[in-house]
Amino acid sequence: MKKHREPGLSRLRVEKDPILAEVWAVKDRLAARFGYDVELMLRDAQKRQHTSGRKVVSLTRRTPAPV
Number of domains in the chain: 1
User: Is 60 among the domain residues?
Assistant: no
Residues 6+ apart with CB under 8 A from 44: 34
Residue 36, burial from CB neighbour count under 10 angstroms (0-12, 13-18, 19+): middle
Long-range contacts of 56-60 (CB under 8 A, 24+ apart): none
User: Is 62 among the domain residues?
Assistant: no
Of 42, 18, 12, whose CA–CA distance to 30 is shortest? 42
User: Is 1 among the domain residues?
Assistant: no
User: Is 30 among the domain residues?
Assistant: yes
User: Is 33 among the domain residues?
Assistant: yes
pTM confidence score? 0.54
Q: What is the pLDDT of residues 1-60, one digit of tens each?
A: 556 665 555 656 655 788 888 998 999 999 999 999 999 999 999 999 999 988 888 788
User: Is 63 among the domain residues?
Assistant: no
Q: What domain range is 30 assigned to?
A: 9-51
User: Is 17 among the domain residues?
Assistant: yes
Output phi, psi for 21, to 5 deg.
Answer: -60, -40
